[in-house]
Structure 1
């Protein structure tokens, strides 16, 4: 396969993993490699975030209250991703909150039903994202950076941690090549430095790293490693924290 063919296959793998968008036209028959595709994850996250932010501004320009515009924008993102990360957050909260031991926690996380811990975590995450997106002076920039850093945090955890079980997404990911990981981590950092004031960009990157480290440590203590649900929860939690930082300046006048 040519260099361009591999890049197209990587992009198709990243889009196919993180969204519900069709990718058959992009792969051109190339073999998918999820580990190698990690460099595309922040690009997909930034594209999704920018789409949501533009929706906020567009709907607000049509006369909707910014809070309502932000709610519709978050709903659009959930439609595009199939609620993949939100599902992971809810499952992780249920498992970590309701399980007595490692085996029980992993079993609860596999259960498609949502419990009280998952409902509370999901409700709070959606509330924070909507309010923060509405308060951000430039929602397209804020949501793009948040989306990129959230997916980069996923890539970092995949490289740093071992899977908690022998099956599932975390176990299915092959060893991530170092060049792909470097591109995964550097792309959203560069975007943050380019689009945000230096101080705010540094805050966003540090917040993303701290959230990923804390959730990784929590997952190691709770279930002994990484799962796909932990990855999804990481993306959502990073998104919430980075968007909250972006909203500190208050809504635009």
Structure 2
């Protein structure tokens, strides 16, 4: 049996992917958000600083509009995302209210790292929100005014990248990335029955990059490659990241207790 992990986790960023939040029929997984609200609230009440980076806006918008497939046209994606964003934040808020917490929506664009004034403004907002006892910042890219996340046309990237950038920005100790896979494997576990879960990675090698690839569900844009890019950013800043299956968000409690779940990316000995 593997030893317990030694995780530093006073300030935590949790990223949840579209496949975790949205059913194949485009309906929001309400039970997942309820559990996520419970976890976030418990961590906050335990004195942790917690930020959630949530995907799922386009998927939720598709559900509201009863769309069978993701729009191709950029402006349509932006419109669907705007509708879905309103739906998602309402659901998050209702779930958090059960635990006497509230959501603080932060929709940001790549200028938070490109321009000093924007960087200062978003940092001030984060610090004020994190200082509040009953507030959970929920972050997504502002898709209505940027196309960088949806079709990767500019350097900001997808929400995997966004979660790593937020982790860097607020100097968090740990990024927990919840996905629809148990961690990083040395081969595609859906195609190779001999694929092995790698418990810990301390640098991204060419072999690891080769083992990754492909996109996610019809609702999202992320694949394992984007998660590795996020992990590279985390390792460069000497922070830690755990990639794990998010079907039950209460797995976060197990991760923080040191259970060797998923894949830990760390340079910390």
Q: State the TM-score, normalizing by the size of structure 2.
A: 0.30
Structure with a larger share of its residues in helix: 1
* Higher RCO structure (Cα 8 Å, ≥6 apart): 1
Query: TM-score, normalised to structure 1's length?
Result: 0.31
